[in-house]
């Protein structure tokens, strides 16, 4: 690539090579550096910082919740967008936390930019080809994004999102997975506009809350576990968002990792 759309640290953090459609492993830094057109040493330095954060948060989780042996082997599938496809995400924290117990595994099937519809479009190719006992689903933020104008369209209407989530959860359950549904964190639109200076996107708090109410109801309807990130973030009273007002910072990712750990121990 001749020029990256965002700073290298941002592009690497959210694995935008996946969004571009490159089927390579996350730890293949040499290939990723070639895709981005940057020196490998620069990418390695960024990756080292990410790994240090993940190690620190996993250690904190281990101190607060000493890991117990799993009663049975567990493979967990993480399904979502850039909130999950993040090199400092709850997936990476939980994977490091679980490292001492080889019977616990995580499959990261998240792709930055995904909506519920785009996940359905790749469901058989990248999700259902795996075997897993539990699926953690954090989807909906991109679905809620709309054009910032009076008659601006939303990526997916609430009704379309509800239709897609009902179908997706049904397919995952038929595949043999127990479900963990995660509510959506808030979005700070002022920070979003400052960070993404050329964006014409915005988010409505009302739509985010309506989505979360649906997720809570769907979890009850499906007999699924609920990781209520929105409620936990509100109760914590801390800033859980990155500078861009959209993605989870280390505090937010740790909070989610702890919620998922509590549900899967």
User: Average pLDDT in the 30-58 region?
Assistant: 96
Domain membership flag for residue 57: no
What's the distance, CA 39 to chain centroid?
A: 27
Tens-place pLDDT, residues 99-130 = 989 999 999 999 999 999 999 999 999 899 99
pTM above 0.75, yes or no: yes
pLDDT at 1: 46
Cβ proximity of 199 and 192 under 8 Å: yes
Residue 117 neighbours by CB distance under 10 Å: 17
Using CA atoms, how far apart are residues 41 and 39, in angstroms rounded to an integer?
5
Tens-place pLDDT, residues 57-66 = 999 999 999 9
pLDDT band at 16 (very low <50, low <70, confident <90, very high): confident
Domain membership flag for residue 223: yes
Residue 2 predicted with pLDDT over 70? no
**Closest-CA residue to 116 (of 65, 155, 66):** 155
Domain membership flag for residue 130: yes
**Closest-CA residue to 54 (of 96, 6, 101):** 96
Domain membership flag for residue 41: no
pLDDT at 149: 84
Sign of CA dihedral 167, 168, 169, 171: positive
Cβ proximity of 183 and 227 under 8 Å: yes
Please tell me the chain's helix, strand, coil percentages from 3-state DSSP, rounded to the nearest 5.
Answer: 50, 10, 35
Residue 20 predicted with pLDDT over 80? no
Q: Give the lowest-confidence range in 24-28, 149-153, 261-265.
A: 149-153
What range defines the domain where residue 79 resides? 72-264
Using CA atoms, how far apart are residues 21 and 13, in angstroms rounded to an integer?
16
Domain membership flag for residue 168: yes
Q: Domain count of the chain?
A: 1
CATH number at residue 258: 3.40.50.1110
Domain membership flag for residue 178: yes
Domain membership flag for residue 97: yes
Tens-place pLDDT, residues 119-167 = 999 999 989 999 999 999 999 999 999 988 877 788 889 999 999 999 9
């Amino acid at each position: 690539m001749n020029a990256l759309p965002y700073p290298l640290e941002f592009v690497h953090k959210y694995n935008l090579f996946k969004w571009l459609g490159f089927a390579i492993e996350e730890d293949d830094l040499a290939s990723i550096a070639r895709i981005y057109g940057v020196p490998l040493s620069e990418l390695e330095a960024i990756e080292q910082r990410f790994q240090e954060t993940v190690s620190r948060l996993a250690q904190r989780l281990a101190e607060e919740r000493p890991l117990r042996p799993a009663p049975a082997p567990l493979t967990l599938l993480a399904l979502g967008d850039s909130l999950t496809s993040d090199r400092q995400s709850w997936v990476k924290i939980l994977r490091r936390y679980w490292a001492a117990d080889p019977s616990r595994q995580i499959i990261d099937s998240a792709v930055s930019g995904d909506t519920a519809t785009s996940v359905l479009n790749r469901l058989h190719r990248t999700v259902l080809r795996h075997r897993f006992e539990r699926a953690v689903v954090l989807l909906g933020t991109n679905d809620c994004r709309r054009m910032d104008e009076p008659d601006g369209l939303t990526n997916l209407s609430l009704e379309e999102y509800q239709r897609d989530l009902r179908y997706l959860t049904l397919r995952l359950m038929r595949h043999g997975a127990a479900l963990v549904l995660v509510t959506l964190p808030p979005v700070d639109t002022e920070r979003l506009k400052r960070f993404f200076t050329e964006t014409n996107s915005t988010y409505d708090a009302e739509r985010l809350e309506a989505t979360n109410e649906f997720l809570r109801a769907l979890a009850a309807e499906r007999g699924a576990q609920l990781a209520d990130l929105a409620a936990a973030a509100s109760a914590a009273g801390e800033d859980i968002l990155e500078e861009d007002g959209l993605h989870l910072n280390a505090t937010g990712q740790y909070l989610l990792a702890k919620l998922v750990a509590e549900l899967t121990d």
